[in-house]
Structure 1
Amino acid sequence: MNFQNTAYAALLASSLLLIGGCDQAEKAAQQMISKTAEAAKQAIDDTHKAAEQALNEATGGRLIEQEQPEKERKESSHTI
């Protein structure tokens, strides 16, 4: 009977250690995911900024002329 009590106590203790280890692993994984998400966001922001700068340099600082609205195109075609 003493052996059974010892076995149950060992099983309970190992279960508690396993659960505690799982909680620590989950917290570590959440921290890693958070840091990875922040790094990805920063990379996207940096890429966006570099693309805007390259576009600005390519256009000489001017905005690219947008297409005329449909109404203005029709009016200009009538005057020709």
Structure 2
Amino acid sequence: MTYRTLGLTGLLAFSSMALVGCEQAEKSAQQLAEQLKEQAVETAKQAIDDTHKAAEQALSDATGGLISPKKAPEKDAEESEPATHTL
């Protein structure tokens, strides 16, 4: 073997290892991005829930309890019952 062949073989081996390392780094970055996205979604949901509860409490406090949050959705119950209107 000549030095040229050894150099070329070494260069190819190094390039192959670098590519494998880049692919692994890309996969790790994608996994991290997915985890961060899931955490951001959960944080946003929690913030919305907390804001909703605070708004309900503020409304109840401002109206002296005359308007209180609904415990169960009545809209679904109204939709499931047949309408019985008499003339």
Matches within 5 A, 1:1-20: 1-20=5-24
TM-score, structure 2 normalization: 0.68
The residue aligned with 1:76 is none
Determine whether 1:35 maps to 2:36.
Answer: no
- How large is the Cα RMSD of the aligned pairs? 1.4
SS of 1:14's partner is: helix
Identity %: 39
Return the offset for 1:2: 1.6
- Paired residue total: 64
For 1:41-62, what per-residue CA distance to the aligned partner results, in whole angstroms no more than 9, with x for missing partners?
Answer: 1011000100011001111111
Distance in 2 of aligned mates of 1:41 and 1:19: 33
Tell me which stretches of 4 or more aligned residues in structure 1 moved more than 6 Å: none
Select the structure that is richer in helix. 1
Higher relative contact order, chain-length normalized (CA < 8 Å, sep 6+): 2
